[in-house]
Amino acid sequence: MWNMLLAFKNLDPMNWEVIKPTLKFLWQGLLAIFVVIALIIIAVKLTSFVIAKCEEYKKKKAENQNPDNDVSN
Site for another protein, rule CB under 8 A: 5-6, 8, 10-15, 18-19, 21-26, 28-30, 32-37, 39-41, 43-45, 47-48, 51-52, 55
Cβ at position 67, least distance to another protein in Å: 26
Count of Cβ atoms closer than 10 Å to residue 69 Cβ: 10
| Closer residue to another protein (CB): 36 or 60 | 36
Report residue 16 CA to chain centroid gap: 33
Minimum CB distance to another protein, residue 26 (Å): 4
**Cβ–Cβ under 8 Å, residues 73 and 62:** no
